[in-house]
Amino acid sequence: MLALTASPAPLASKCGIFTRFKVMAEKFPSFLPKEVENIKDPFARKLAARIERLPVQVSFSESSIMSSLVKPMIQSTTNPVVLLHGFDSSCLEWRYTYPLLEEAGLETWAIDILGWGFSDLVLLFSSFLCLLERIPSCDVTSKREHFYQLWKSYIRRPMILVGPSLGAAVAIDFAVNHPEAVENLVLIDASVYAEGTGNLTKLPRAVAYAGVILLLDEYKP
Residue pLDDT, tens place only, 146-179? 999 999 999 999 999 999 998 999 999 999 999 9
Q: CATH assignment of 54-219?
A: 3.40.50.1820
Cα gap 126→138, rounded to integer Å: 8
Q: What is the pLDDT of residue 206?
A: 67
As a whole-number percent, the residues of the chain with pLDDT over 70 amount to 69
Residue pLDDT, tens place only, 91-148? 999 999 999 999 999 999 999 999 888 887 544 444 444 544 444 467 889 999 999 9
Cα gap 47→51, rounded to integer Å: 7
Give the chain's mean pLDDT.
79
* Domain range list for the chain: 54-219
Q: Residue 66: which pLDDT band, with cuts at 50, 70 and 90?
A: very high
Ordered DSSP codes for 122-158: HHHHHHHHHHHH--GGGSHHHHHHHHHHHIIIII-S-
